[in-house]
């Protein structure tokens, strides 16, 4: 049965590939047999520079702080009479197998594993390594964004590579994402929902999601797409890999705080006063706004009220303008009907959150009438904003203080 992975999120695509070099095929030993007493090293690049879809990853990744953790899944043992080795699992990973019972045995047998098998084994190893009270990493190294990070002085064996946010604890950097698994072909093709474990690291604008990777050390390089111990290709004790990553936009919220210093009343009549705001977000280098919404606050007396807008792209420059206050009220903060601008709105604001403040006062010009508050709710499925009228209104003043 043919397997392939389909990502359900357009913004997040992972390349499913065997992380270790293709395994060796047993045969006559070459003149330079594997030396399991040699130390190994692993060079890890954050981004594949040849991937056009990730051309802008590196510049933004430099704003994130990423640490690489390496967990030892298995040691090695020479196979007598052959230029290959078998794995000896560490105690924490002794039961490592796929759902179909596929496990790790000899290095030469790894060629029998499909990409899906490797992916499932990496997932199971990551669940063990990243559980509460799991084994400690044998090596940790911060990513060097300009080139690559090197993890050195490693014993031979099978390793799990995990990339994560340097400044977050395990509960924060481990995440589950939903993808689709398609099996079969034609009329027999079935797509099922699948939860995958990823680790994350944040830049101000993006959340980077990294797939766990299994890597065998040492390994052999392929010649004409074939790896064979009967050839003269030497064992490689230094391997190079690229992190398997995807990313999603980060979002944040904005609170508009409104103070009405004085309120229009005549002969005991209370007429609601509605103030309407437009919120526009722009991103450097993008010609169209990344966010554009309208919201309002209604008062039935002097005081303070607020409204909160969600799903604003992080790092956008946000301009908030009071576009309607009625003829009876004058905006005094900011003066002259000015707007409030937040430069690069943060996904991780301070204790007070992201907010802007406006103040108005009654100018003694009596009117009759009020506004109706419309609600705009972000729809993640369509990527747009759904409109509805709020019959209850949102009130400030005496009710909202």
Domain with CATH 2.60.40.10 in the chain: 251-400
pLDDT, one tens digit per residue, over 173-214 is 999 998 766 655 666 666 777 899 999 999 999 999 999 999
3-state secondary structure of 314: coil
3-state secondary structure of 247: strand
**What pLDDT, on the 0 to 100 scale, is given for residue 391?**
43
Query: How far from the centroid of its chain's Cα atoms is residue 129's Cα?
Result: 20
Q: Which of 39-53, 241-255, 336-350 has the lowest mean pLDDT?
A: 39-53
Give the whole-angstrom CA distance, residue 376 versus residue 68: 41
pLDDT at 247 over 90: yes
3-state secondary structure of 83: coil
Strands 85-89 and 317-324: unpaired
Give the whole-angstrom CA distance, residue 38 versus residue 85: 14
Query: How far from the centroid of its chain's Cα atoms is residue 396's Cα?
Result: 37
Angle 214-216-221 from CA coordinates, rounded to 5°: 120
- Is residue 154 within 8 Å of residue 139, measured between CB atoms? yes
CA atoms within 13 A on the CB side of 79: 18
Give the whole-angstrom CA distance, residue 333 versus residue 360: 7
- Is residue 230 within 8 Å of residue 239, measured between CB atoms? no
pLDDT, one tens digit per residue, over 372-384 is 555 555 565 665 5
Strands 157-165 and 213-217: antiparallel
**What pLDDT, on the 0 to 100 scale, is given for residue 387?**
52
C-alpha closest to that of 71 among 139, 141, 170, 169: 139
pLDDT, one tens digit per residue, over 270-287 is 788 999 999 999 999 899
**What pLDDT, on the 0 to 100 scale, is given for residue 221?**
77
pLDDT, one tens digit per residue, over 56-94 is 888 899 899 999 999 999 999 999 988 899 999 999 999
- Is residue 291 within 8 Å of residue 280, measured between CB atoms? yes
Give the whole-angstrom CA distance, residue 153 versus residue 139: 9
**What pLDDT, on the 0 to 100 scale, is given for residue 399?**
38
C-alpha closest to that of 126 among 67, 69, 182: 69
Instruction: Looking at 142-229, list the stretches that DSSP marks H as alpha helix, in order from N- to C-terminal side.
Output: 170-173
Instruction: Identify the sign of the CA torsion 152, 153, 156, 160.
Output: negative
DSSP string, 345-366: --SS--TT-SEEEEEEEE-S--
Q: Which CATH architecture has domain 251-400?
A: Sandwich (2.60)
How much is the pTM?
A: 0.79
Share above pLDDT 90 across residues of the chain, in percent, rounded to a whole number:
58
């Amino acid at each position: 049965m043919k397997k392939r992975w389909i990502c359900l999120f357009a913004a997040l695509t992972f390349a499913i590939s065997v992380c270790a070099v293709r395994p060796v095929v047993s045969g006559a030993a070459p003149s330079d047999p594997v030396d399991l007493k040699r130390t190994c090293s692993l060079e890890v690049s954050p981004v594949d520079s040849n991937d056009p879809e990730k051309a802008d990853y590196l510049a933004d990744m430099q704003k994130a702080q990423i640490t690489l953790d390496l967990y030892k899944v298995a040691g090695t043992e020479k196979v007598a009479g052959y230029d290959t080795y078998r794995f000896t699992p560490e105690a924490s990973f002794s039961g490592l197998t796929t759902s179909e019972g596929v496990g790790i045995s000899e290095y030469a047998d790894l060629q029998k594993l499909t990409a899906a098998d490797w992916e499932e084994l990496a997932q199971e190893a990551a669940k063990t390594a990243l559980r509460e009270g799991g084994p400690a990493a044998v090596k940790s190294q911060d990513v060097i964004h300009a080139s690559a990070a090197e993890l050195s002085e490693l014993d031979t064996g099978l390793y799990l590579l995990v990339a994560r946010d340097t400044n977050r604890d395990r509960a924060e950097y481990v995440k589950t994402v939903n993808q689709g698994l398609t099996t079969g072909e034609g009329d027999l093709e079935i797509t099922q929902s699948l939860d995958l474990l990823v680790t994350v690291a944040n830049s101000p604008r993006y959340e980077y999601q990294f797939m766990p990777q299994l890597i065998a050390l040492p390994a052999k390089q392929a010649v004409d797409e074939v790896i064979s111990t009967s050839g003269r290709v030497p064992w490689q004790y230094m391997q190079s890999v690229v992190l398997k990553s995807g990313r999603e936009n980060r979002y944040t919220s904005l609170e508009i705080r409104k103070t009405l210093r004085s309120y229009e009343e005549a002969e005991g009549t209370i007429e609601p006063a509605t103030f309407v705001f437009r919120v526009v977000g722009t991103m450097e280098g993008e010609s169209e706004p990344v966010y554009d919404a309208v919201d309002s606050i209604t008062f039935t007396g002097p005081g303070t009220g607020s409204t909160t807008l969600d799903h604003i792209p992080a790092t956008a420059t946000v301009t908030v303008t009071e576009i309607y206050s009625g003829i009876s009220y004058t905006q005094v903060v900011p003066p002259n009907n000015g707007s409030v601008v937040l430069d690069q709105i943060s996904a991780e604001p301070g204790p007070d959150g992201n907010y802007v403040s406006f103040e108005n006062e009654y100018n003694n010009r009596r009117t009759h009438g009020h506004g109706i508050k419309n609600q705009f709710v972000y729809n993640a499925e369509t990527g747009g904003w759904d409109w509805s009228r709020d019959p209850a209104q949102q009130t400030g003043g005496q009710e909202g203080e």
